Amino acid sequence: MRTALTNGRLLAGEGIVSGQTLLLAGSRIEALVDPKDSRCRGSEVVDLGGQLLLPGFIDVQVNGGGGVLFNDDPSPESIRTIGEAHRRFGTTGFLPTLISDDLETIERAIAATQTCLDTGMRGVLGIHIEGPFLNLARRGVHDPKHLRPLDDSLVSLLCRLRDGRTVLTLAPEMTTPEIIAKLAAGGILVSAGHSEASFAETTEAIARGLRGFTHLFNGMARLDPRAPGIVGAALYDSDTWCGIIVDGHHVDPIMLQLALRCKRHERFMLVTDAMPTVGSANSSFVLQGRTISVVDGICRDENGTLAGTALDMAGAVRNAVSLLGLDIATAARMASQYPADFLGLGHELGRIAPDYLANLVLMDDDLKVQKTWIEGQASV
């Protein structure tokens, strides 16, 4: 059975197009056609009411949602709950993200993700393991008792996920360039974060396969005129990707606008770094024994340290437009096409184009989510 999505404004090709009908066949996009195309007859027709149809959002950093923190119970059920909570905000692909924890919890999280992939749980693209190989001085809310260097003995554990993608956030100074090369060779997408690596250390890591930077600016040594450091290296290098939290609190929007002038927009990804309160009525949660409260949309621990976000992807896209001055097409691509490319999934995810998976989000003029599709299946 075909579905014909008509009367929408679609982000496809070079920009936003109107007057075209999108045909879905099963889980995939079949074609973008004239509404009079014969294939529209006999299709289930969905009138989009002139609203904006975008590629479904892809979030590579999601700690929790729907009242669940992945670290608390790294199970397939938790991943399902988190995915459903974020889907309401347009996320159709995500990496459940485990913050620094013990090795047994990391093993369980990888096994749970593998089960989701084995059973075809829609929207699960892999796992993001954030830490524990992080610099104590830039730990943020990561529990110091879990932090440790990364040696050879842990490489096979970290490469254990057979399918999907594994993103590993580490501080380059907590391991060696050789191990970064091994991880990259093992299919891991290594991302630098919670780090005080120097410009030279970071550049060396890039040469060995470092692929990205986790929440650029946050959890990193500051950009210093005499020591460009990890932030300087992230902005100087033209090929690596940068995850950015655009909530108006984690980073001053001016700093993000400066970053956007340093390298092409294709190398930036909107991430939520979301905590359990997203898609939940709760305004607080417990993170490894510490109470985190959301006040004025900001997650902080008892000491006032930022502890992830209460941001959802639709909000991130709106903020990218309102705070960073981006056009809707660019903001949407930072939430879909560019993270898909980072994950090496850009051949079938993140674009509205023939043969791509039918992962879509419908937004109104206020950029509020009206409906989503994952692999052709609709839900509100």
Q: Give the integer Cα–Cα distance in Å for 12 and 54.
A: 8
The catalytic residue among 143, 273, 312, 341 is 273
CA distance 144 to 348: 39
152 has catalytic annotation: no
DSSP, residue by residue, 324-362: T---HHHHHHHTTHHHHHHTT-TTTSSS-STTSB--EEE
Nearest to 17 by CA among 352, 378, 366, 367: 352
String of DSSP letters for 231-291: HHHHHH-SSSEEEE--SSSSS-HHHHHHHHHHS-GGGEEE---B-TTTTSS-SEEEETTEE
Pairwise CA distance, residues 72 & 155, whole Å: 24
Cβ atoms 82, 70 nearer than 8 A: yes
* Position 282, amino acid: N
Tokens for 258? 């400066």
Q: Residues 255, 223: contact at Cβ < 8 Å? A: no
Kindly provide the b/e burial profile for residues 54-93, where b requires at least 16 CB atoms within 10 angstroms of the residue's own CB: bbbbbbbbbbbbbbbbbbeebbbebbbbbbbbbbbbbbbb
Residues serving a catalytic function are 273
